[in-house]
Structure 1
């Protein structure tokens, strides 16, 4: 039976679609502008006015300069290492802690949960945290980028809520067969939690890929800088000279602007290609955290 719709409902849907298209346009246009500008001729781009939706000329010198630059390549290597290694540790520790906090037996679990949630609103501050890292010998080390955010409180709440929603009979049945807590966690809970683990990988992976602040605070050696910190130096500190880009004296400031656009594209393309494969789990993870407390 065909549903009868009122004129007001049809008008509302039409306006809603138009509004969403408008939002998509203003969201995607900055990305389109950067993509088109990165392959445009510098002199044509400098004199261009209006909306840019296609390349002005076509050249890939900026990408050649970026991909041949030692700091960019090193930044890529470091970011991949931080993202892969850090995400693996994040997911494992968050899952284990979330599973432990979801158990209904121990009486102190609510207290521990309250203490963890407390950290969402209050922290020790930047300077005390720096001194702690220094005393631990982590300053200017690879772990300085990963350790401060090993377990995200919001992600922990999502994992805990997920484990609380799993049937208790699964655990009880496994323990009757002689399984201990570690066996239950790794052989039963984790395989059944792959969708929420995909959400954690997305959350933590994107966070590591875009992270630069901890590296800027704790790292002194440029060989350990992640890609985003290298990119920040290029974009905000005007560090586009021969030592960083290799084009400063050859094509001048116009070419440096194109190189900046190329840097942005090089840094975001990998994470954009991964995101669609995990995006379908994103809404599920948000709903898990929103429906249950």
Structure 2
């Protein structure tokens, strides 16, 4: 029987590329997203489309129960659903902040809670959490996004040692700029939220930097291949960095905070 994988955020970007790539590699893949009409096309690649609104517990429970009913278990969980919303901390409405944390953090945690009992029972499981360079490097105007990704890094570190005795591996994927609708949507949010406030000058500079990131972004398939490498490794790494993430992560590790801040802000002049 083929290994069953649940990939969230499968309507676009990394989630979509991963669902297709794993299905084409022989896995039994469920591709989940809120916009089910956007994932119907995945079925032409052998992916089973399933509706999931990660902010609604009843939807999360229904999604997992459907997979258990049809496939028996979830062997591999790829938490790829994510929201990249930007704006100065002072400007972002708390309702927007809570929605982002629901999608990027609490939804991830809830799916893990529901998948773990069967993984423990089977003595096998792989949990793949999509973080970002933004899980180690904080950019201005991205407080809530970076808070969620820093949290994913910490959650994964704690979880890894909790579930290791049960034969379950936890991996973090750290992409750099990746071609998806997230960069474009994030820039639009930034303009809407902080484009006319006291932070407008910085918002404009950050927007230009995002445009540069978009121009040099890697294809999502590169991240899908990293994920496949991780789930097929006998002794997987705790973290898999995309090629375009390495320079920033290395500099963040080596430089003192204020020197790194200066280097970062110089890129936004």
TM over 0.5: no
Short-chain TM bin: under 0.3
Question: Who wins on radius of gyration, i.e. which is larger?
Answer: 1
Q: TM-score, normalised by structure 2?
A: 0.25
Higher relative contact order (CA 8 A, sep 6+): 1
Structure with higher strand content: 2
Q: TM-score, normalised by structure 1?
A: 0.23
Structure with higher helix content: 1
